[in-house]
């Protein structure tokens, strides 16, 4: 009888880190109204930080900020802004400073994704993803860096593992995330002498997120038939734990790194859909494809 397959546990950060590790700290998070970045924000708040979440949709931001405050007992405020617009980001930063007086941590997490072949990808669609992911990361850093220097704080940029190999129908996102990695690495070298650290978290396929919905075509997020050394898809708490660690004093000598959080899946990753059939016959995955924005 074959041995059973190991399934990694899902662990809450409170089982490892002190509750007050971020007491008195302030987090500024783009994309914090939902998904991965909301989960990261919640974890960091549970360990003592107050937070500002930034996004385009005011209603969702307000609801998420209220929920995060109630869950953690800390203060979370919404700041509506578009990361593609430097002025709106600067206004969000100013709102943060007026309320909390400083910024210690920044998560650059605003992102966009859909599936499209290069041959069917409009120039506008490609540009839009670059503007949200890559330019949005740059704009966020530019707006916050004077305050993060003062606090000798840290950045986390949210990337992906798609560009480690050629991933069909993801040229736009792969290019954007490669740029995010490069910006973070340069930031680490430029700002290290000022006491600022910058690292990247690269999620694998993550259950319960918009990215997973896009890639799976609304199929179940269960890992049936999915090859992964640790037996399951990435979960948001896995990414939240990585963020808590990278912002913690335990990571004070870690900067300029890209940390995949994927259960080792990238070492075994094949294609998420049949290859080469899906490339030769795009109609076979038509429901997943979107060529224009």
**Which amino acids are annotated catalytic?**
159, 177
Q: Are 116 and 291 contacting, i.e. CB atoms less than 8 angstroms apart? A: yes
**Concatenated DSSP letters of 170-233:** -HHHHHHHHHHHHHHHHHHHHHGGGT-EEEEEEE-SBTTSHHHHHHHTT---S-TT---TTSS-
Residues ≥6 apart with Cβ < 8 Å to 227: 265, 268, 269, 270
What DSSP character marks residue 48?
T
Burial of 220 (0-12, 13-18, 19+ CB in 10 A): exposed
What DSSP character marks residue 14?
G
Q: Quickly count: other Cβ atoms within 10 Å of residue 179's Cβ.
A: 18
């Amino acid at each position: 009888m074959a041995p059973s397959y190991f399934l990694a546990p899902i662990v809450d950060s409170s089982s490892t880190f002190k509750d007050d590790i971020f007491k008195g700290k302030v987090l500024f998070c783009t994309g914090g109204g939902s998904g991965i970045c909301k989960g990261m924000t919640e974890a960091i708040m549970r360990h003592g930080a107050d937070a500002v979440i930034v996004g385009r949709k005011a209603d969702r931001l307000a609801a998420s900020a209220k929920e995060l405050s109630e869950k953690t007992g800390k203060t979370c405020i919404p700041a509506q802004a578009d990361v593609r617009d430097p002025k709106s980001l600067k206004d969000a930063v100013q709102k943060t400073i007026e309320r909390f007086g400083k910024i210690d941590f920044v998560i650059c997490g605003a992102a966009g994704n859909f599936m499209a072949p290069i041959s069917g990808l409009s120039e506008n669609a490609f540009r839009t993803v670059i503007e949200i992911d890559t330019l949005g990361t740059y704009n966020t850093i530019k707006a916050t860096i004077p305050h993060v220097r003062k606090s000798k704080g840290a950045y986390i940029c949210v990337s992906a593992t798609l560009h480690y190999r050629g991933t069909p129908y993801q040229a736009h996102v792969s290019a954007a995330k490669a740029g995010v990695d490069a910006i973070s690495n340069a930031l680490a070298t430029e700002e290290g002498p000022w006491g600022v650290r910058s690292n990247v978290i690269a999620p694998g396929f993550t259950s319960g997120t918009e990215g997973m919905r896009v890639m799976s075509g609304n199929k179940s997020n269960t890992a049936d038939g999915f090859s992964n050394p640790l037996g399951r898809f990435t979960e948001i708490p896995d990414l939240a734990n990585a963020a808590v660690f990278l912002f913690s004093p335990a990571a004070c000598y870690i900067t300029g790194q890209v940390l995949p959080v994927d259960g080792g899946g990238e070492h075994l990753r094949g294609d998420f859909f049949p290859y080469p059939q899906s490339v030769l016959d795009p109609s076979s995955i038509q429901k997943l494809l979107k060529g224009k924005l």
